[in-house]
Amino acid sequence: MNNIELIMDGFYNYLKKERGFSYHTITAYRNDLGRFITSLPKSLFELSQIDREMIYDFLSDEFDKDYKAKTIARRLASIKSLFKYLISSEQISSNPSINIKTPKVVKKLPNFVDIKVIDKLMKIPNTKTDKGLRDRAILELFYSTGIRLSELANLDFSSITINKNKNGKENYIIRVLGKGSKERIIPFGNEAKNWIDKYLKTRGFSIHSGLGNSPLFANSKEQPVAYSTIKRRIRNYIKLVAEGEGLGPHILRHSFATHMIDRGADIRSVQELLGHSSLSSTQIYTHIKPEGMKKIHAQAHPHGK
């Protein structure tokens, strides 16, 4: 293993242990930076030898290969993160990426589906089977909370907290570790709770079982359902009720945010629920229908009526 490989391994280890990045995020970094390192002159044997022109040359080649601006912007972000790490760990003295501007990326509205489509989607899994019950519970919780697929795949019994109010009514909450190992708390409703309980009964459990680190959603061997399995099954269900491109699990997260804001939820509250670090990431969901905006204005503004 050469010096560059050792440094790169140190960087990926830093992303995992210090930044708390997920396996999938680190894999994306490996892909981006692997392409960048491969593009460098073969005579280069130290990362400190990299200059601004080498970075520009790499980005230019990526444009020539017809990669989208969004992809190239992500590659540059990975490069900037690497050099920021090298500076902070005092492995280099100057940062060649510091003044390189990120390609302008046009933000597209995220895919989402109407509530009527959501209702149809929930009825697709065959709930007469154990897998169908599990899939229905996953879909309900996914839409009820808007969490990321990776977060959902990592849920266990300890992720669920049940509180009772003064009237003895139970409130259901999940705790997830999002990007950067930041914990957030998200409530979910009776619909999701009821389907989770129906599913857990097939395993001889209930939502109150308190089994600690046992997976909330498990396969036949009581191991966590694989991320790829959940992704594939949800995508297949969505294709049965919606048409177009980008029909993946993220649609449930986008629909959660859109429907919350459409119905008057405070954007900062939605930001907190989604685990967005900046408000600008959440503002993309404010594509509220005119009639919905009019209703919200009438309810909230002193002269709205």
**Is 19 annotated in the active site?**
no
**Is 148 annotated in the active site?**
yes
The vertex-181 CA angle with 178 and 187, nearest 5°, equals: 40
Task: Tell me which of 134, 136, 193, 276 is the catalytic residue.
Answer: 276
**Is 276 annotated in the active site?**
yes
For 171, the enclosing helix (H) or strand (E) is: strand 170-177
* Residue 90 CB contacts under 8 Å (≥ 6 apart), including other chains: none
Task: Tell me which of 74, 75, 148, 254 is the catalytic residue.
Answer: 148
Cα(82)–Cα(110) distance, rounded to whole angstroms?
29
Cα(284)–Cα(301) distance, rounded to whole angstroms?
23
**Is 253 annotated in the active site?**
yes
Task: Tell me which of 75, 136, 193, 253 is the catalytic residue.
Answer: 253
Task: Tell me which of 179, 203, 235, 295 is the catalytic residue.
Answer: 179
Tracing tokens 């560059």 back to the chain, one arrives at: 4
> How would you list the strands of the sheet with 170-177, edge to edge?
160-164, 170-177, 183-188
- The amino acid at 6: L
Task: Tell me which of 29, 172, 237, 285 is the catalytic residue.
Answer: 285
Task: Tell me which of 74, 250, 254, 259 is the catalytic residue.
Answer: 250
Residues marked active site are found at 148, 179, 250, 253, 276, 285
